[in-house]
Amino acid sequence: MPQAESDHSVFRAIADPTRRAILDRLRQGPAPVNELASAFSQSRPAISKHLRILRELRVVSEQRHGRERLYRLEPAELKDVADWILPYRDFWQASLGNLKSYLENE
């Protein structure tokens, strides 16, 4: 039964490099779809699909403005990622500490 339980977490959202780039761009402020599409040398529908995924996971919000749709960063959901990664921090800090000790020939 090949079924991956279709993970709809924000981890999937940021797995794609294009979506990460979109989010990075949106950190500098909201943008309409065309601007994003022209920035990433992909077709506009492709970007639309990425935006749909980000929308459904609440990582961005859409605000219609005339015939444009402004996409805005909604970083709250990204906190899940930060929370997940936090405990690992101790580990690589420990590793760096060990390396430091080693280099200092302690």
Q: Which residues bind DNA (CB under 7 A)?
A: 1-4, 6-7, 12, 15-16, 18, 32-35, 42-53, 62, 66-69
Binding mask 24-53 for a second copy (x = CB under 8 A): ---x--------------------------
Segment interacting with a second copy, rule: CB under 8 A, options 14-22, 31-39, 50-58, 63-71:
14-22
Q: Are 63 and 74 in contact (CB under 8 A)?
A: no
Place of tokens 């492709």: 46
Nearer to DNA, 68 or 100 (CB): 68
For residue 19 the two structure tokens come to 């979506």
Element (H, E) at 35: helix 33-39
Q: Which amino acid is at 92?
A: W
Contact 29, 36 (CB under 8 A): no
The whole-angstrom separation of Cα 92 and Cα 68 is 45
Binding residues for a second copy, rule: CB under 8 A, are 4-5, 7, 9, 11-12, 14-17, 20, 23, 27, 73, 75-76, 78-79, 81-82, 84-85, 87-89, 91-92, 95
